[in-house]
Structures are given as structure tokens and as C-alpha cells.
Chain A
Amino acid sequence: MTTMTRPRALAAVLAVAALLVGGARLASDATDPTTAAWTDDVHATTSVGLGTWQPSIGKCQPVDANLRPVDAPCSIVSVKGFVTGEGRPVGERRAQLRIKIDATQKNGVYYLLTVNLANSADAPANWVFQGGWFGGAGANLVAMQAPPSCTALPTATMLLPDWAPGEKDGVFLEVYEPRWSQQSDPSFCVRS
């Protein structure tokens, strides 16, 4: 039967610790290079570039009298006319726009447009859409059973008449800033 004195026990502890560290290091060294040796990569390079495009002005969908889609082509050619020349301050202006579409005219086919007026080529950056409305006398839009809300501006949804494709200069539309003085001007969208 043997017993260990304190110095001998301490020496044993130190020896054990050294062996543990050495063993762990050995295991680590033995493992690391193996992972690298067991795979092979293939590298490929390319470049990525976006083309250039203009902001989307909106969509045109031909529909029948019940707003059911009609399978026919239609696109928005232009929306312009923000220059009013009336000299009013920001927030009180009115724009008289022309919306031109490209479609084949056909009786009983109307044109449901969703237009981002802010993307019009001549829309001033400081035009105040929030709180404004669109419509106006002579707007020539077709009444909708569920008219759009004015709060969607600068996105405006409207229904153009069946003769719209034949209008060489486009269909007339007025857009108002919130403090336009002639509050009696009719609105196509619902103001709340």
C-alpha cells in the first residue's frame, strides 16, 4: 500500500495538466490540415451591370363597362403639363395635364389607368400631392362605381373613355394642390 505526499501529489497534477495541453494540441494539429485537404473549389468570376431605365409612369389596362379586363394592348405614352404659368405659390397650384395612351380604339372598351403623377416628366419636385385631388371640369374621365381615394396621390387611378386612343394630344386632366382656392372644382377621386 502506498500513499502520496503533498509535493508528490502536486507534481502529479502539474504533469497531468501538461499532458492534457499537449494531447489537445496534438489532436488539434492532427485534425486541421485534414479538412483543407478534403475539398476542392472552383472559382468563377463575372461582372454585373444594370441597364438604364426611366421611372415607370404607370399601367394601362383595357376593360369593359364592368371593369372586366379586355385582352388588348395598351400603354401610357406620356403624362405631362405640370407647368401652369398661373404664378401661384407652392401648395395652391393647379396643373392641367394631358395623358396620352397607345391603344387600338374600340367601342365599349375603356382604359383603366394607374399613374404615378410624381414620375411625370415635368412634375415639379415640390408639388404637394398629399391632401390634393385630381379631376376638374372637362377631365373627361368615366365615373367609377368605386372611385379611388385621393389619399393615394401621387398615384392616381382613373378610367379613360373609349375614344381616348384617338385623342392626338391626350385626355385632359386637372391636378390640384391642397390649398387650391377654387374648392368647387370637381374631384374624380374621393376626398376625405
Chain B
Amino acid sequence: MQLRHPRVALPALLGLGVLGGFGVATTSAAWTDDAHFTAQGSAGAVDLRGSSNGVDFTAADSTGTAVKLDAVAGLTPDNPTVTRTVHLWNASTVPLRLSWATAPKTLLDGCVEVEYQPFPAAPLAAGPDQPTGAAVTTATVTFRVADNASAATCSGKALGALEIVVQGSPA
């Protein structure tokens, strides 16, 4: 084929784009197939579970099934810090990298500051059989009365429900 005119050359160039587009689509599809294979290998394969006591683990996949932590109560300048811990178990068949999916830094109009313990850089090892050893870890959240929390603004304030979410993704 000989291209003799720019208007004729344009479709040809676009044709190259189509090839490129198919290239992307094909690549994605291949990757997706792989992902779907793994995911189906588990609704199971990626399975992070939580617990308030390190013994009774549940999927805790939603607000309705969330791990219930003890209330954070009575924070004052004289009792300024309370820590809460979520125990995590990688019940997957693959190591998981952990991250905080929700992480508000302050609560109650700045009266309370929230600090999230960083997760280790190393992924949490897989342990699909039982929550022991390197397959378990903890996620710690510290609630602290802000230094500038005044009695007039902050005393007695409360927040009914706070949701904390940890996300696990294959390393």
C-alpha cells in the first residue's frame, strides 16, 4: 500500500494507535486473568482478619462486622493518653503489606490527636492455618488530649463511633 495523501496517512497512523490500544487491552486482560485466578483461588487467598484480644479473630470486613474495641473514655489533661490495639492475622496464602486505610489525625474539633503506629516495612507473613507466629501482628492507635485543649472548648466532648480500617494487600 502506498500512502499518497495526508488524509490517507491519518487512518494509518490511527491504525497504529489501535494496535497499541489492543496491546494495552491485551496486556491488562492477561494480568487481570492472573489476578482473577489468584483471587478466586481465594476469596481465601487475600484474607486479613482482626481481633480485639488476639484470640478470637473475625473477617471484620465491614462496619457491621467490625472488631469492637473498648471505648476511649475519660481523656483529660491529667489523663491525656489512651491506646487501643487491633490484633491482625494474615490468614492469606500470600504475605500482606499493611496500611492504614482510614486515619483521621484529629478528633472532636482538634481536642484529641490520633497517632497511628507505623506498620513494619516487611510484609506480614502468610499463615492460613492458625493465628500464630509471624502471621500475626498488632495495629496500635494512640489517642491524646491536644496540648492546647481548653476546658471551655473540649471538656466533656464525645464522639459516638470512630471507625478504624487497616488494609492488607499482597506484597
Inter-chain contacts of B150 with A (CB < 8 A)? 55
Kindly supply a per-residue 1/0 record for chain B positions 32-56, scoring 1 wherever the CB is within 8 Å of any chain A CB and 0 otherwise.
1001101100000011111010000
Contact assessment for A42 and B72 in the assembled complex, using a CB-CB cutoff below 8 Å: no
Q: A50-B154, A53-B155 are in contact. Are A16 and B75 (CB under 8 A)?
A: no
Contact assessment for A46 and B74 in the assembled complex, using a CB-CB cutoff below 8 Å: no
Inter-chain contacts of B76 with A (CB < 8 A)? 50-53
Inter-chain contacts of A41 with B (CB < 8 A)? 48, 60-61, 101, 165-168
Minimum CB–CB distance from A108 to chain B (whole Å) comes to: 31
In whole angstroms, what is the CA distance A106 to B162 when docked?
Answer: 51
How many A-B pairs have beta carbons closer than 8 Å: the answer is 212
Q: What is the interface residue range for chain B against chain A?
A: 35 or more
Name the one of A27, A45, A50 contacting B21, with C-beta atoms under 8 angstroms.
Answer: A27
Task: Decide yes or no whether B151 CB sits under 8 A from chain A.
Answer: yes
Task: Decide yes or no whether A40 CB sits under 8 A from chain B.
Answer: yes
Task: Decide yes or no whether A39 CB sits under 8 A from chain B.
Answer: yes
Inter-chain contacts of A19 with B (CB < 8 A)? 18, 21-22
Kindly supply a per-residue 1/0 record for chain A positions 29-49, scoring 1 wherever the CB is within 8 Å of any chain B CB and 0 otherwise.
011011001111111111111
Task: Decide yes or no whether A65 CB sits under 8 A from chain B.
Answer: no
Closest chain A residue to B10 by CB distance?
Answer: A13
In whole angstroms, what is the CA distance A44 to B162 when docked?
Answer: 8
8 Å CB interface, A1-28 against B: 1-4, 6, 9, 12-13, 16-17, 19-20, 23-24, 26-27
Contact assessment for A38 and B18 in the assembled complex, using a CB-CB cutoff below 8 Å: no
Contact assessment for A40 and B108 in the assembled complex, using a CB-CB cutoff below 8 Å: no
Inter-chain contacts of A50 with B (CB < 8 A)? 74-76, 108, 111-112, 145, 149, 154-158
Inter-chain contacts of B4 with A (CB < 8 A)? 3
Contact assessment for B166 and A49 in the assembled complex, using a CB-CB cutoff below 8 Å: no
Contact assessment for B72 and A47 in the assembled complex, using a CB-CB cutoff below 8 Å: yes
Q: A12-B11, A40-B168, A43-B165 are in contact. Are A48 and B68 (CB under 8 A)?
A: no
Name the one of A9, A16, A31, A53 contacting B18, with C-beta atoms under 8 angstroms.
Answer: A16
Contact assessment for B167 and A16 in the assembled complex, using a CB-CB cutoff below 8 Å: no
Q: A2-B1, A34-B31, A50-B108 are in contact. Are A44 and B60 (CB under 8 A)?
A: yes
In whole angstroms, what is the CA distance A53 to B152 when docked?
Answer: 9
Task: Decide yes or no whether A56 CB sits under 8 A from chain B.
Answer: yes
Task: Decide yes or no whether A54 CB sits under 8 A from chain B.
Answer: yes
Name the one of A38, A39, A51 contacting B156, with C-beta atoms under 8 angstroms.
Answer: A51
In whole angstroms, what is the CA distance A162 to B68 when docked?
Answer: 54
Contact assessment for A52 and B156 in the assembled complex, using a CB-CB cutoff below 8 Å: yes
Contact assessment for A56 and B77 in the assembled complex, using a CB-CB cutoff below 8 Å: yes
Contact assessment for A44 and B69 in the assembled complex, using a CB-CB cutoff below 8 Å: yes
Contact assessment for B67 and A45 in the assembled complex, using a CB-CB cutoff below 8 Å: yes
Contact assessment for A45 and B2 in the assembled complex, using a CB-CB cutoff below 8 Å: no
Contact assessment for A26 and B25 in the assembled complex, using a CB-CB cutoff below 8 Å: yes
Name the one of B14, B21, B71 contacting A46, with C-beta atoms under 8 angstroms.
Answer: B71
In the complex, besides A40-B168, A49-B71, A50-B155, 8 extra interface pairs with C-beta distance below 8 angstroms are: A31-B31, A38-B39, A42-B86, A43-B65, A46-B72, A46-B162, A49-B75, A50-B75
Which residue numbers of A lie inside 8 Å of B, CB to CB?
A: 1-4, 6, 9, 12-13, 16-17, 19-20, 23-24, 26-27, 30-31, 33-34, 37-56
